[in-house]
Amino acid sequence: MEIDTIAAISTPVGEGAISIVRLSGPDSIQMANQLFKGKHLMEAKSHTMHYGKIVDPTSEEIADEVIVSIMRAPKTFTCEDVVEINCHGGLIAVQRILEMVLEQGARLADPGEFTKRAFLNGRIDLSQAEAVMDVIQSKTNKAMNVALNQLDGKLSRLIRKLRQELIETIAHVEVNIDYPEYDDVEEMSHELMQIKTKYVEGEIKKLLQVAEQGKILREGIKTAIIGRPNVGKSSLMNSLVQEERAIVTDIPGTTRDVIEEYVNVRGIPLKLIDTAGIRETKDIVEKIGVERSRKMLQEADLVLFMLNNNEMLTDDDRMIFESLEQLNYIVIINKVDLERKIEMEEIMKLSKGAIISTSLINDQGSTELETALSTMFFSNELSSDEVTYVSNIRHISLLKQAKASLDDAQHALALNMPLDIVQIDVTRTWELLGEIIGDTASESLIDQLFSQFCLGK
Ligand SMILES: Nc1nc2c(c(=O)[nH]1)N(C=O)[C@@H](CNc1ccc(C(=O)N[C@@H](CCC(=O)O)C(=O)O)cc1)CN2
Ligand SMILES: Nc1nc2c(ncn2[C@@H]2O[C@H](COP(=O)(O)OP(=O)(O)OP(=O)(O)O)[C@@H](O)[C@H]2O)c(=O)[nH]1
Ligand SMILES: [K+]
Ligand SMILES: [Mg+2]
């Protein structure tokens, strides 16, 4: 297959100091050389940078003053010849240079195509390629660490090890089938399969257990702010996101619909959800809002249940306490600047969660709330250095399937089924694990995965 030369703008579109047009493929150096006034690039050593100008070869007009990086195959991002033209930031220069490169015969890269080439040329496997995207999309330091670990091949190494364990048992069974006269091999195979499938299943279970944590790192902890109308839920939302995101008025029932916003509280990613105040109402629109609030309450990873210090507890409040029974929650007593009317003793009895006092109009209590949040999150936290996290939905789904097929294998072993039958499940597990790192992934899957990348990556 003929490999062509691709090009794209690899920096975000907009005003900035520098923008980069990246080329990869066998003709990239020659194409850049056609446009470059400066040192002759064909002779340039690998991994060198050159100052000069990009000049339109027909009009001889100067497009920009640039620095060009030359990186020769195979030790490059794509394992192909790579050229990076560092031009001035802004829209015009970089667009014009890209057009000139395309006129030289380069093809505009598909989204993710540079990374895809790194994968197809064997520099990284599929889970590492996916990690490249995770690095770009990481919103917190923690998520970034997880992605960097995966980029470094941590998950891949573990998956390879597990596949190796499985292949050993498969090999044993093969010997068995080919040389049925060796009875002892048969016995060994049976025992070995039991041991190995159990071991691999245990490892997969561990990965799945921490996967939930990984999902939280990526998507944020779904945190619903719940409470009766007018207690100050939207005020809390605005205080945490530090902008006037939700409408705040002194009219009960102001928030009618669910409002979502991402925030980062001391490194913990929260997906904050402001909801309509929960109360019995005849207003049709508000009623729908209240129903949504109840739904959000059930779906949340964490509930911030807000009460008004200046009012006595109501049956609505007590009902909310009941529905919190199975959930993680923090109780927030707001408006402590006003006279205390709420029954604190009763709250202490009702609440299993932390209780925080705030006065949002005076900016009071947010530090305590942040502390409570981080205590909660880090108390059952696993450090990303020791544990291999899986945060990718595709990987989680494959791990679950792999676990199910190991269950089948063990079931068959328990029933003393013939080993060549058990082997079908073991082989299937081996294939499923292979899909994570791309060893047994189909071409259409690979195309689909890379197409989710951003342009120029
Ligand atoms: N200018 C620039 N900066 C960049 C990138 C880039 O492509 N260009 N990257 C794009 O994501 C990231 C760096 N990632 C990279 C990963 C691998 C290789 C690479 O050349 N690997 C070779 C050689 C390694 C070596 O010299 O030891 C290899 O693994 O064989 C380059 C960049 C972030 N910064
Ligand atoms: N005194 C006092 N007033 C507050 C405090 N926090 C919020 N308020 C006021 O309480 C009123 C209601 O605040 P919101 O944030 O709209 O309350 P909400 O719970 O979102 O109300 P709904 O969306 O209607 O359910 C507004 O007038 C706020 O300014 C506080 O700590 N002390
Ligand atoms: K209100
Ligand atoms: Mg509101």
The pLDDT mean for the chain works out to 90
With a 6 Å cutoff on the Cβ, whether 365 touches ligand 2 is no
- Predicted confidence at residue 72, as pLDDT, reads 98
Q: Probe ligand 2: pick from 225, 226, 235, max atoms within 8 Å of CB? A: 235
Q: 136 versus 415: which is more confidently predicted?
A: 415
For the 132-210+390-441 domain, the top CATH level (class) is: mainly alpha
Strands 329-334 and 302-308: parallel
- Predicted confidence at residue 183, as pLDDT, reads 64
Band the pLDDT of 455: cuts 50, 70, 90: confident
Please report, rounded to a whole number, the percentage of residues in the chain having pLDDT higher than 70.
94
Convert the pLDDT of each residue in 236-281 to its tens digit: 999 999 889 999 999 999 999 999 998 888 877 889 999 999 998 8
CATH number of 6-109: 3.30.1360.120
- Mean pLDDT for 290-297 is 92
Distance CA 30, CA 343 (A): 79
Type and span of the H or E element at 323: helix 315-323
Place of tokens 């970034």: 144
Q: Where are the extended beta strands (E) located within 127-245?
A: 221-227
CA–CA–CA angle 163, 167, 171 (5° rounding): 175
With a 6 Å cutoff on the Cβ, whether 19 touches ligand 1 is no
- Mean pLDDT for 203-215 is 79
- Predicted confidence at residue 384, as pLDDT, reads 43
* ipTM score: 0.61
pLDDT for residue 113 is more than 80: yes
0.80 exceeded by pTM: no
CA of 358, closest atom in ligand 2: 31
With a 6 Å cutoff on the Cβ, whether 230 touches ligand 1 is no
Convert the pLDDT of each residue in 28-74 to its tens digit: 999 999 999 999 999 999 999 999 999 999 999 999 999 999 999 99
Q: What is the DSSP letter of 142?
A: H
With a 6 Å cutoff on the Cβ, whether 123 touches ligand 1 is yes
pLDDT for residue 421 is more than 70: yes
123-137, 140-154, 210-224: least confident range: 210-224
Q: 457 versus 27: which is more confidently predicted?
A: 27
Q: Probe ligand 1: pick from 24, 47, 77, max atoms within 8 Å of CB? A: 77
pLDDT for residue 381 is more than 50: no
Q: What is the DSSP letter of 310?
A: T
With a 6 Å cutoff on the Cβ, whether 357 touches ligand 2 is no
**Cα distances (Å, whole numbers) of residue 187 to 6, 20, 194, 198, 296:** 56, 62, 11, 17, 55
- Predicted confidence at residue 383, as pLDDT, reads 44
6-109 and 221-378: same fold? Answer: no
N-to-C CA span, the chain: 22
- Ligand 4 mean position, distance from CA 257 (Å): 9
Q: In what order do the strands lie in the sheet with 329-334?
A: 259-265, 268-274, 221-227, 302-308, 329-334, 354-357
- Predicted confidence at residue 212, as pLDDT, reads 67
Q: Which own/partner contact pairs does 384-387 have at CB distance under 8 Å and 24+ positions apart?
A: 384/142, 384/145, 384/146, 384/149, 385/145, 387/210
Please name which ligand lies nearest the alpha carbon of 75: 1
With a 6 Å cutoff on the Cβ, whether 76 touches ligand 1 is yes
- Predicted confidence at residue 176, as pLDDT, reads 72
The residue type of 134 is: D
33-47, 292-306, 353-367, 434-448: least confident range: 434-448
- Predicted confidence at residue 171, as pLDDT, reads 85
14-23, 64-73, 183-192: least confident range: 183-192
Q: Which residues contact 387 (CB under 8 A, 6 or more apart)?
A: 210
Specify the length of the chain in residues: 457
- Ligand 3 mean position, distance from CA 233 (Å): 8
Please report, rounded to a whole number, the percentage of residues in the chain having pLDDT higher than 90.
65
What is the sign, positive or negative, of the torsion defined by CA atoms of 126, 443, 23, 42? positive
Task: Please count the other Cβ atoms lying within 10 Å of the Cβ belonging to residue 372.
Answer: 19
* Domain 221-378: which CATH number of 3.40.50.10280, 3.40.50.300, 3.20.20.370, 3.10.20.30: 3.40.50.300
147-151, 176-180, 314-318, 337-341: least confident range: 176-180
pLDDT for residue 332 is more than 70: yes
The domain spans of the chain are 6-109, 132-210+390-441, 221-378
Convert the pLDDT of each residue in 121-135 to its tens digit: 999 999 999 899 888
